[in-house]
Amino acid sequence: MFLVFTDTIYVMKKLIIGAVLLTVTAVGVYFFLNFPLSIEGDDVNDTGSTEESADTNPYEVIGTSVEGRKIRAFRFGGGEKTLVYVGAIHGGYEWNTALLSYELIDYLTNNGNVVPADIEVIVIPVTNPDGLYKVVGTSDKFAAEEAPQFDFASEVSIDDTVVSGRFNSRGVDLNRNFDCKWQKDALWRNYTVSAGSEPFSEPEAKALRDFLIAESPEAVVFFHSASNGIYTSICEGDVLPETKSLQTAYSEASGYPRPDSFTYYEVTGDAADWLSTIGIPAITVELSQHDVIEWEKNRAGIEAMFHLYSALD
């Protein structure tokens, strides 16, 4: 009788232990499938469509760079009229335009009522993530103290590392790779630079092209530095009337001058100029220096755009 009782206890113990192990295994599998481990570091070759960024803002990936880094787009508002803001097409050479774009993202995140109900805002903070990474060490958000601190316009040459961050990883100037008066050997200042093998030969330019065509925005703003002004877009013919209205609204609100044209050197294959060929108004906002974001001026210009395009004012 005692032996039977002992055997029964032994069997029950084995059943209980087996049940516990089975439960632990099932829980482990569930968490593995539903909560995968994340690995910190740069996002090379990670091309998920909608995720959380390092600062918890949701974004979508509109394409990847030559080296596989994400080109992100952040959306705010749900209106039918879309306004797009594009930063860092010249990567680490114009790192302040990425910071200005991230400042705009933070502002819209923390002030949800600033975007009119009939407007949608899209911010693409870094169009050339490889170029930014080369200079700053990240293609994500960073602090100004992590970036070079000097007057680029007068202190750098084409051979400097910071200048190489202007181009993508194949050495192409992305703002010479669009289909407006494109030519293979383009100009930047007094240097000859590569514009790629043909218009849209570069994955970053293709991604931006395809995204903007699909979105068909009311207007696009490109952030650059450091020519201190608001420039219109034009390829052939006259400037679009809507582009002139956009330039005027942004300039008057921000205080930036609005020159009639860019006269420092010939620019071919420019992204904003290409947009004029498909009827989309676009302006280039040139910050006054390479190490400032001039947030209050640009906030005023951006909000003036909201008033210009919203029917609710």
Q: Which among 9-18, 151-160, 245-254 has the top mean pLDDT?
A: 245-254
- The answer to whether residue 106 scores a pLDDT higher than 90 is yes
Helix ranges restricted to H, the chain: 2-34, 95-110, 129-136, 152-155, 161-164, 203-215, 241-254, 271-277, 295-309
> Please, how many CA atoms are within 13 Å of residue 60, restricted to the half-sphere of its CB?
8
CATH among 3.40.630.10, 3.40.50.880, 3.40.50.2300, 2.40.10.10 for 50-309: 3.40.630.10
Nearest to 83 by CA among 62, 108, 63, 103: 108
Decide which of 3 and 214 is more confident.
214
Residue 295: what pLDDT?
Answer: 98
Residue 158: what pLDDT?
Answer: 83
Residue 276: what pLDDT?
Answer: 97
pTM for the full model? 0.83
For the four alpha carbons of 258, 259, 265 and 267, in that order, the dihedral sign comes to positive
Domain boundaries, the chain: 1-37, 50-309
What is d(CA 70, CA 128) in angstroms, rounded to the nearest whole number?
Answer: 9
Average pLDDT, the chain: 85
Residue 34: what pLDDT?
Answer: 41
